[in-house]
Structure 1
Amino acid sequence: MSDPVSAPPPPSAARPVAAPGRTGTRSPGWVLGRVAGAPVVLAPSSVVAALVLAVVFLPVVGSQFPGLGVGAYGIALVFTVLLFASVLVHELAHGFVARSRGQQPHEFVLTLWGGHTSFGGASPTPLTSALVAVAGPAANLVLAGVGFAGASLVAPGGVADLLLWGLGVANAFVALFNLLPGLPLDGGRVVEAAVWGAVHDRSTGTRVAAWAGVVLAVGVPVWVLGGPLLRGERPSLLGAVWSCLLGAHLFQGARDALAADRWERRRDALRLEAVVRPAVTVPAGASVAHAVGTAAAAGAGEIVVLDEAGRPVGRVRRPDALAVPPAAAATTPVSAVTAALPAGAAVDGRLAGPALMRALVAACEHSDVAVAVVDGRVVGLVSAVDVVAHLRART
């Protein structure tokens, strides 16, 4: 048997598309194909991972086959390809289990840190979340078993033995590391699901698992660096750099999970009064002077123009109205300074939470502002910029 791989690939993680700033667009990279209705994307950062893995595995090949020469590079390349295939199997396992539970994968991405599977939304139940999370590590354990079994069937000390044994060790490491109990790792999703199921609140589960991820982010480099120091040895430079980078990656993932949770909690608590700009309405035939005077009397900063049927058809920006010379304001029709509002820009102001958010997203596809209407009466305007700022504000 060969020496174990000294630095297996970092973990991958399944994640919903829920964090602030995610738009549902595809991650940058090369599309290798489509599986389960979703693209398989090779991110540019994966090239760095491939080079690092090849460099790490090359000395192992050289120690086993000192006279191999250039062929050692070929073996290192084959091993790297096998590891990337293992990561892809991990991600596909997430996707297939999710799809079987009614959750459509959005994309499978291979990255510097292994990979991730994104979905169009969060898991609907704790059980689904847990099953999707454990599917990836379970696939790696199966591959580890295949690698070890294959190594036992081939001649010891050969190239096949080296590759199969290394594949088994690497997959076992990836599976066990991913099961560590903290976000963004799969084990963190299991913790999140367990707490969610116990207290019936996903947000609490996310916060517990994310803070556990922060502990892991600190613990990984401490363990990698502290172990050799306690034994009176000097940590390897590669191990020190890799563990610190991995710790930073885990910390960022945990931080993103907390940010996404804060975003979702504020979205669920969203109410119109938190983001609406009070507005007055004036008929399309009114003058600029009348519109400005009506807004000033009501203390409103926005003016909405109504057609003859009382439907909002335009918006008057106060700077445009005030730019009209006072001597001409009384005779200038408000239509001269009105920006048209499309029909789909209206939202029901009685909505709240996710329903209000969905309505605002749909309305802002037609315009940068939405008209809030309650029982047929315009109460104000809602800007997409104001909504995003409200959701991103820290509690």
Structure 2
Amino acid sequence: MNGTIRVGNLFGIPFNVHPTWFFVLAWVTVSYGSGLAAQFPGLGGGLPWLLGLIAALLLFASVLAHELGHSFVAIKQGIEVKSINLFLFGGLASLEKESKTPAGAFWLAIAGPLVSLALFGLISAIGFTTSISGPFGAILGVLGYVNLVLALFNLIPGLPLDGGNILKALVWKITGNLYKGVVFAGRAGQVIGWIAIASGLVPLLLGGGLNFWNLLIGWFLLQNAGRATQAARVQEQLAALTAEDAVMTDSPIVSESLSLREFVNEFIIGKSEASRFLVTNEEGQLVGAIAVDDLKAVPTSQWTEISVAQLTKPVEFSTTVKSDQSLLEVVTLLEQEKLTQLPVIRENGVLVGLLEKASILNLLQRRAQANPA
């Protein structure tokens, strides 16, 4: 999440807080501290607000435990947890990728609510079996209540909530299609978002006050559910396409047998602005790449005598993709390696062409124009 502040590591997982977290921390501290001061007049000085701060930190610790529940299940499934972020609306565990199966997605989604329910049960048991009372008893009571609400709220069946991810897993299991699950759960999240917004506006229409929190929650659900739905549609298209489908039609490719003079005359002067060309052998197999700037090291008088092969540099195998590889995998590789383009080759090493981020976008745009919704 952009704009977060790194706090440290928890079990090897980066732990961040968003600036909005400090607003909620201050608000809970003041409001709950004021409540304690009114409920227990004997508390003097700044003690009510100190206890309010402790209560606020314990509430956020509950949110953190909820996210750790997701994180531990993800790690068990071999999924990297990039970070845990706390923000205005709670917390979020940022994962490297989706679970591989509907069952995995189900357990990953339900882990957080189960942790919150377990904490509610533990705190309730402590409250019933001990004689804790007064301010600490009040804090214990609200802590148990918050964990129960945290579990039940997150089980609402709409993205981006855990209940939405559970719904996604169920639809994925029934249809066999992950993306249909995401779209269905995303639409459910949008419906719930509109309901939350309506519940925030109706009291105002009836002469009451505006429910600001319901409006914020509704907006949050609408925005994130909409993004999830849109992303799922794009991912479904990418999964159905291959790297070869997105290869540039005018990929910068030259034969190693050309002289530098032929290379410049046929491919550079007035014809291409490419700064690097992929080089192939007689069989069309990729052997490396030549940079236009490398020509400066060779006197022009020698261009007819020196071949492209002599200036060709090898291309690492890890920076190429197979022609039949899913375009979704290719996009993931581009993002992970922070690349803008990749050579596409067939199993026998024959070069198909160059694939760029721009060529992928162009392909999706052409398909959208050919098949308007």
Normalising by structure 1, report the TM-score. Answer: 0.74
Q: Deviations over 1:175-228 (max 9, x none)?
A: 111011100000001110111111111111100000111112221232244257
Unaligned runs of 5+ in 1: 1-21, 322-326
Contact 2:278 2:286 in 1 (8 A): no
Change (3 A) 1:386 1:198: same
Residue by residue over 1:98-117, the C-alpha shift from the partner in whole angstroms, topping out at 9 and shown as x without a partner, is 33444443332222221111
Equivalent position of 1:10 in the other structure: none
Q: What is the 5 A alignment of 1:83-94? A: 83-94=59-70
Q: Does 1:70 align with 2:46?
A: yes
Corresponding residue number in structure 1 for 2:84? 108
2:236 to 246, 265, 288: 265
Residue 220 of structure 1 is matched in structure 2 by: 196
Q: Which moved more, 1:199-208 or 1:327-336?
A: 327-336
1:80 alignment partner in structure 2: 56
Quick check: 1:165 aligned with 2:135?
A: no
- Which sits farther off after the overlay, 267-276 or 95-104? 95-104
1:165-204 mapped onto 2 (5 Å cutoff): 165-204=141-180
Per mean C-alpha deviation after superposition, the further-off stretch among 369-378 and 287-296 is: 287-296
CA distance in 1, matches of 2:332, 2:215: 43
User: CA distance change for structure 1 residues 282 and 124 in 2, over 3 Å: closer, same or farther?
Assistant: closer
Match of 1:380 among 334, 342, 353: 353
2:28 maps to a residue whose letter is L
| Counterpart Cα distance in 2 of 1:329 and 1:211 | 65
Take 2:119 and 2:167, find their aligned partners in 1: how far apart are those partners?
A: 24
1:50 maps to amino acid: L
Match of 1:210 in 2: 186
Displacement of 1:85:
1.0
Aligned to 2:221: 250
In structure 2, the partner of 1:143 is 119
Distance 2:338 2:80 in 1: 27
Instruction: Please say if residues 130 and 189 of structure 1, whose CA atoms lie closer than 8 Å, have aligned partners that are also in contact.
Output: yes
Instruction: Identify the residue that residue 48 of structure 1 maps to in structure 2.
Output: 23
Give the match for residue 117 of structure 1: 93
Q: How does 1:29-40 map to 2 (within 5 A)?
A: 29-35=5-11, 37-40=12-15
C-alpha displacement at 1:292, in angstroms? 4.2
Between the two proteins, the alignment pairs up a number of residues equal to 357
**2:107 matched residue in structure 1:** 131
Gaps of at least 5 residues in structure 2 are 369-373
- For residue 370 of structure 1, the aligned residue among 322, 342, 359 is 342
Query: What SS class does the counterpart of residue 114 from structure 2 fall into?
Result: helix
- Tell me the TM-score normalized by structure 2: 0.78
Q: C-alpha root-mean-square deviation of aligned residues, in Å?
A: 4.1
Matched letter for residue 305 of structure 1: V
Contact 1:151 1:160 (C-alpha < 8 Å) held by counterparts: no
Q: CA deviation at 1:392?
A: 9.0
Please report how far the alpha carbon of residue 55 of structure 1 lies from its aligned counterpart in structure 2 after TM superposition: 3.0
More divergent stretch after superposition (130-139 vs 368-377): 368-377
| 1:208–1:45 CA distance, 2 compared to 1 (3 A) | same
Measure, in 2, the Cα distance between the counterparts of 1:93 and 1:126: 18
* 8 Å Cα contact 1:271-1:352 kept in structure 2: yes
Closer/same/farther in 2, CA of residues 49 and 389 from structure 1, 3 Å limit: farther
SS at 2:254 equivalent: strand
Percent identical across equivalent pairs?
28
- Any conservation in 2 of the 1:280–1:300 contact (CA below 8 Å)? no
Instruction: From the superposition, tell whether residues 334 and 248 of structure 1 become closer, same or farther in structure 2 (CA, over 3 Å).
Output: farther
Structure 1 residues 339 and 222, CA gap change in structure 2 (3 angstroms) = farther
1:19 aligned partner: none
Query: How far is the alpha carbon of 1:155 from its aligned partner?
Result: 5.9
Shift of 1:245: 2.1
State the 1:27 CA deviation: 8.3
- Change in Cα spacing, 1:128 to 1:379, as seen in structure 2 (3 Å) is closer
Aligned partner of 1:64: which letter? Q
Q: For 1:377 and 1:141, how far apart are their aligned partners in 2?
A: 57
